[in-house]
Structure 1
Amino acid sequence: MTAGRAPAFNEVIHAPLRLRICGLLRSVDELEFSVVRDALAIDDAKLSKHIKVLTDAGFVSLRKERSASRADSRRLTWVKLTPVGSTAVEAHLAALTAIANGADFDALPGQA
């Protein structure tokens, strides 16, 4: 199991790009939107779509701030896992580990 969390498979997190977003965010306080975009090699629209799903689920929060290095009023968007999101990611990773180790998928908590 990951970090002692009870396994709980999460369909929202499991989508490949959302899982990768959560993977990037789980070990940092927050990342700037463009850093996430570039790390995943995707466009702004695709990243925005997946971040919206994670935000709507309460797993990610956004913070906007004015860029000190720019003369215009463009704002930077910072992305971070919420405490609920962090718990859900760790539980999902625990579920994936349990599945990889041969656990009975139907016996995992959080399964309907």
Structure 2
Amino acid sequence: MAHPRHDLDEGLLTPIRLSLMAALAGDLELDFATLRDLLEADDSVLSKSISHLGKLGYVKVTKGYVGSRPRTWVRSTSKGKRALDRHIRALREITGTE
């Protein structure tokens, strides 16, 4: 049987991307500022992480306005939820905490 590390998702190996996907667990849609504050991340790092996860199809980004202010909302896709579940399962198997 293959070692569970082979089931880790390359897209979720950075702490910010993993934390971002965990923050979006369930059916949450969060705006950029909320994610930034929740994850204690710089705008640049968060923006790059969202972009990377978007290219993988793990998150959906919606841009719009609240009044006259631009806003960006982020939501996990079904593909992203499956990737996070698989990644967490692999971490649990590796650490023996299943």
Q: Per the shorter chain, which TM-score range? A: 0.7 to 0.9
Q: Taking every aligned residue pair, what percent have the same amino acid on both sides?
A: 36
Q: Deviations over 1:10-59 (max 9, x none)?
A: 01112111011111011342111100000111221110011111011110
**Which deviates more from structure 2 when the two are superposed, residues 7-16 or residues 43-52?**
7-16
Partner of 2:14: 15
Specify which structure has the higher proportion of strand: 2
List structure 1 segments (4+ residues) > 2 angstroms apart after TM superposition: none
Give the TM-score, by structure 1 length: 0.76
Q: Which has the higher contact order (CA 8 A, sep 6+)?
A: 1
Are 1:52 and 2:65 counterparts? no
Structure 2 segments unaligned to the other structure (5+ residues) = 1-5
Corresponding residue SS for 2:41: coil
Give the TM-score, by structure 2 length: 0.86
Specify which structure has the higher proportion of helix: 2
Number of aligned residue pairs: 92
Structure 1 segments unaligned to the other structure (5+ residues) = 1-6, 103-112
Q: Which has the larger radius of gyration?
A: 1
